[in-house]
Each structure stands twice: as C-alpha cells, then as structure tokens.
Structure 1
Amino acid sequence: MLDRVEQIEMAGCSTRPVSLLEAMRERTKALHVTAERTGVVAELLRGRGTRQAYALLLRNLLPVYETLEAELVRHQSSLVLSRIVRPELHRSPAIKADLATLDATGLPLLPEAITYVGAIKKAGSGSGHPLLAHAYTRYLGDLSGGQIIKKILARSLALPPEALSFYEFPEIADIRRFKDAYRDVLELAGAAMADPGAVVEEAATAFKLNITLSEALQAAAGLGA
C-alpha cells in the first residue's frame, strides 16, 4: 500500500498541466507591473507625456511590429502558429499612418529597439513557436491596456483620432469577444506543443525587452527623473 507521501506525489502527477496562458501570466506577473510603472509607458499613463515622446515610441515600435508580423506570416502554415496569424491585429500600417499624421520625421531608432527586433527574429527561427509569446505580449496588451492609453493620450495631448490609429481595430467588432477567442487559440497552440516551457520564458524575455525599450525612450524623450 502506498504511504501518504507517495499518494500525494501520484495525485500531483495526475493533475492537469498548467495551461500556456496561466503559465505565461504567472511568469510575467511582476514584469507586467514593472512595465506599467517605468519608462515612457508610465509617463504616458500618468498624462505626463509629450507628442514627441509618443511619436518616438511609435517610431521604435514600428520595426518591432513589422518583424513580428512578417515572422508570423512566414509561419502561417504551422500547425501551432496558424491560428494566431490574424491580419486584423497587424499594427504596422496603423503606426505608419500615425507617424504621418504626427509629421514625425528624423526620429532616431534606438539600439534597444534593434535588440528587440533581433530577439523576435530569433524567436521566429526554427519552429517559430516562441513567437506565441510575442503575440501574447504585444497584441493582447494593445487590445487591453492600449485602450486605456488611447483615452489618456487623446485627453492629455489633445491628439486627434487620426493620430491614434495604433489603438484602433476597425476590423474587430467586439474587442472583448475577440480577446477571449484569441486566448483560446493561444491555449490550443500551447496544447499542440510537447514542451511549452520555451514559450513561457520567451514571454518573460518579451516583457524585459519592452521595459528596457520603454526606459530608453523615456531618457531619449527627456521625460521623468
């Protein structure tokens, strides 16, 4: 007969595995808080940004999204990645439109953005499964916190709607339902992988890259301490 310790260990082995989303949320919980409280993102959330800071943010996010979207499309026939390739989420055309409206020419591309782009290219190599983490971090963030930032920017910087296309998703009729459906396909993608651990760690990497870029943008824009 099994003793109590062995019974507990056996029971633990039989429980359902932690879902990909649960694992990513848990792994990035503290990083998520840090991302909201530091750098240019924190300044924008507090209503202390400037048009130049916003334009600089967009300038440096553009190659990040261009690379992410290109890598996702390249893997669109993948069993794991095919369901998360959703053109209605693509942000690079909207970012270009916002930059044109803001007449943001001559803004620098920071080294931190180049590093971020390199990390996404690396995530897209081989199977490309780590791209799930970048899609999770960027797109669900845009659909959630991004909607709050849009309202703050419109008020604090008096930006017209045509300068805030980045946060608009005209092809998505119901953002809440879309987010739920997108989470579902992320879960299906996670279930199709033998070991989602690398994706979970890539989610932490994605948040760290965002934080580093945000801090660099804050300094480049001359905001904060």
Structure 2
Amino acid sequence: MTFDRSIKIAPSILSADFANFGQEIRAIEAQGCDWVHVDVMDGHFVPNLTFGPPLVKAIRPHVKTVMDVHLMIAPVDPYIDAFAEAGSDVITAHLEAGPHIHRTLQAIRAAGCKAGLALNPGTGIEDVEYLLDMVDLVCVMTVNPGFGGQKFIHSQVEKVRRLREMIGDRPIHIEIDGGITPETAPLMAEAGADVLVAGSAVFKGGSVDNPAPYGENIRAIRSAAEAAQPGA
C-alpha cells in the first residue's frame, strides 16, 4: 500500500451476497473498487454478529486490492494475530473497545498490518491527538456501528474537518464508514476524507451475474467525491 490522498472506494461486503463472496469480490474489483472492506462484529461491542478469521482467510485469495478489516469487537487484542495471519492488510480497532488502545495499535503494527483507529459518532477527536504517530488510518463512523443501511449522521462532517487539520501532513488516511452515497460522499471529501466505505450504495441493483450496476454505483460515488475534494 502506497499512501496518497486520492479518493478510494471501499465496498463493504456486509452488503454482498454471502453465498458468493469470492465472486462478489472479484466483481467489485473488476468494476473499479479500490479496497475491500470487511466488517467484523461480535454481537457484544455492537448488536450484530458477522465474520471471524476463517472467513477473512477464505476470501483473501480473491482480494487483489487492499483487504480493509474493521474490528467492531471487544476485547480486540486477543484476535489481532488471527486476523493478521488471515491476510488483513489494514486492521482497524475502535477507540472505545478497550482501555489500552495504544497497546492495541502497537500490536496491529507488530503483526505486520497497517493500523486503523475507529471512532463512534459520539466520540470526540481529542484522544486521537496522542495516537497519530501510531496510526495509518482513522475511521470516522457516520452511523452507529452494527448494521448496514443506516442514515448518515451529519454532525460528523465537522469532526472530519477538525481531524484533517489535526493530521496535517502525516500520511494518515481518513476513512468514512456509514451512509455513504453520491449525495453524502462530497460532504466528506470536501472535509478531508479519502477512503469511502459504501455497502448498499455499491451493491444495490447488481449481482454477480449482473455486475455492471456495481461499477455505475462506484463511479457515481467517486466522481461526486472527487469533484468536492479541496483543489479539485
């Protein structure tokens, strides 16, 4: 992974056809996505239960871009090595998931992965300042984590703008997860985000047998975001 601030579209496979993950991943990559986002939920930290390390390992051979694994689990630390060994490129843990997030970020990097730090909508960015030298990505949740298809929380736009100022010239991605559409993507791109996670907005209208809508959806989000980027 080389760092740049170009807009990257990261479809969430939470919205894909679970019976056809391999084909779905190949389809979204063929249709132009940049990263593949994997939402891991434990039914404890968030009110839903999704995937574990065996699933991540099973889909790894199908991912040719970047496998972006978002751990919405608590505790996080006991599972870092398993998700790293399963082939994660980026592992993101929540600031709220445990008392020792600095140690968690160290462990992710020690396992050979890029380290992401996720913030729930109700979490401020004050605590991020002392972690910036430990992270490669900050993920701002623009819905309450746990389910796909939720409405975008507009208060997070200002959070991203402040976060972008705090990051300055550091090579840190700002990722947005939740409610991204061609209408909300420009708000976040203008505020300074560069990685946009989209689930239903990418997968709606398409299938592995008819993947063209995936590409249309990805291009619509990307073009809307790129037009709003500062300096565009």
TM-score normalised by length of structure 2: 0.28
CA radius of gyration, larger in: 1
Q: Which has the higher helix share?
A: 1
TM-score normalised by length of structure 1: 0.29
Q: Which has the higher strand share?
A: 2
